[in-house]
A = this chain, B = another copy of it.
Amino acid sequence: MIFDRGLAFALLLALASGVSPTNLRAQTTDAAIAHHVFTNGLELVVIPDHRAPVVTHMIWYKVGAADETPGKSGLAHFLEHLMFKGTAKNPAGLFSRIVGRIGGQENAFTSSDYTGYYQRVPADELKKVMEFEADRMTGLVLTDDVVLPERDVILEEQNQRVGNNPGARLGEQIDAALYLNHPYGRPVIGWRHEMEQLSRDDAIEFYKRFYGPNNAVVVIAGDVEPDAARALAEETYGKVAKRFEAVPRQRPQEPPPVAVRSLTLADPRVEQPSLSREYLVPSFATAKKGESEALEVLAHILGTGSNSRLYRALVMEKGDAVSAGAWYQGSSLDMTKFGVHGAPRPGVTLPQLEAEIDGVIAETIDKGVSAEELERAKTRLIADAVYARDNQASLARWYGSALTTGATVDDVRQWPDRIKAVTAAQVQEAARIWLDRRRSVTGYLVRQPGAQPEKKS
């Protein structure tokens, strides 16, 4: 099972990267996408796509690591694993074996805001996976026999994904320093000392509190008609009784950021030093109108691809960096992150590289972006959205992440139009307001302690 900190749009689009522009043939029109809410609160999104006789079936729960009780970090992800441990009706492993037997694929993922499960199966097997998924929505049976070994599995996952990955360790430290109060500062995988204490009771309590039809969004993309999918959903998910009243997802919010922060992580396994900076910025859900879209365009102009400002200045022109880029994670229920990063060529220090990045940002704030850059970024972002639409799984994932982070089906539909409407002035304003170093944490990843002194005279 994978976990992610939230879905960066760029990352989402990467899922669709196999599709080249010349192949472009968007099968799914916005109008064909159906959205329905059942009486038990379950939301259904159906995205017809008849190019192949397969369906992607996803269920997204509106719960993630940021909803955990403090001290129980990693619980949302742990429960994601435990959801494969069987129910009274279906013993552990049966669901996965059947998906495999019919030639399907499955996976699951956890972020700070959501937990999702998906299967890609032949279209005529859709009902079967819906039955299994509806059954484990409230029917999970957990015993210490299965819980404790699975805890070893997530501990080993933490070890592999974070413990043995200097870049991931850096990211954890930056997040923890960026969020002073909000639980987004907590790793999705969990803090190891807390993961080690997670129990069956913790998992069951969390499950009963958050897993139910009125906290779930089912997204079905593929060779099925909305009416048929809805009928199947009614027969399966529609029969699951509500077991709690949904409550507003209110997490502790951030105080206004005021201090420029930096940190250095030394790890002997680092081959290539790098720096990574995150700014605390609005997400789509928290932004004023147009602001999130301007940040999306800004990230593209600053740091997506070889035409971006950071890449051109640092890698191509000065040659001081081997990589440089920027990103923005728009889909987030609360205040989110805008990132810049770079890796220096041998002989260039991280502070030098950082000064160059700061120069590029300062110039963007001072002089804004050109009409040409703006058009290129918008065209590219909109084209990427079209490619995403062309990919069944990525489109399903887009809707799922939107609906579990405060956006609506219409928000997703209107996304290209909103990007189209972004002006150069908005991009400059977004850079000026949000790329303020007092909102940021800069992390240095180095091989040896002291190799990159943190202070200058």
Interface residues of A (CB under 8 A from B): 70-71, 73, 169-170, 173, 176-177, 180-181, 183, 185-186, 191-194, 250-253, 255, 258-266, 349-352, 354-355, 437-438, 443, 449, 453-457
Contact = CB atoms under 8 A, between A and B. Distances in A.
Q: List 5 tightest A-B contacts by C-beta distance, closest first.
A: A456-B456, A351-B455, A71-B252, A176-B180, A259-B263
A457 B456 contact: yes
B457 A455 contact: no
A206 to B, nearest CB: 16
A180 B173 CA distance: 8
B456 A255 contact: no
Given A181-B186, A193-B253, A456 B351 contact: yes
B260 A455 contact: no
By secondary structure, the A interface counts as mixed
A341 B387 CA distance: 56
Contacts of A265: 258-260
A94 to B, nearest CB: 37
Given A71-B250, A191-B255, A193-B253, A260 B185 contact: no
Contact of A259 (B183, B192, B264): B264
A132 B355 CA distance: 62
Contacts of A258: 169, 173, 265
A260 B352 contact: no
A185 B194 contact: no
How many chain copies does the complex carry?
2
B354 A443 contact: no
A269 to B, nearest CB: 13
A332 to B, nearest CB: 18
Contacts of A263: 259-262
Nearest to A260: B264
A354 B455 contact: yes
Given A262-B263, A266-B438, A349-B457, 12 more contacts: A70-B70, A170-B259, A177-B259, A181-B194, A259-B263, A260-B264, A260-B449, A261-B263, A262-B262, A351-B457, A438-B449, A455-B455
A194 B183 CA distance: 15
Contacts of A181: 70, 73, 176, 186, 191, 194
Contact of A180 (B71, B185, B261, B437): B185
Q: A70, A180, A186, A449: which has the most chain B beta carbons within 10 Å? A: A180
A171 to B, nearest CB: 11
A73 B252 CA distance: 9
A354 B349 CA distance: 21
A259 B173 contact: yes
Contacts of A259: 170, 173, 177, 263-265, 443
A170 B258 CA distance: 9
Contact of A262 (B71, B173, B186, B261): B261
Contacts of A443: 259
A296 to B, nearest CB: 27
Nearest to A252: B71
Contacts of A355: 455, 457
Contacts of A185: 180
Contacts of A191: 181, 255
Residue of A193, A252, A266 with highest tally of chain B CB at under 10 A: A252
6 contacts: A261-B261, A351-B455, A352-B457, A438-B449, A454-B455, A455-B455
A301 to B, nearest CB: 25
Contacts of A194: 181, 252-253
A448 B355 CA distance: 18
A264 B261 CA distance: 7
Contacts of A255: 191-193
B71 A251 contact: yes
Contacts of A183: 70
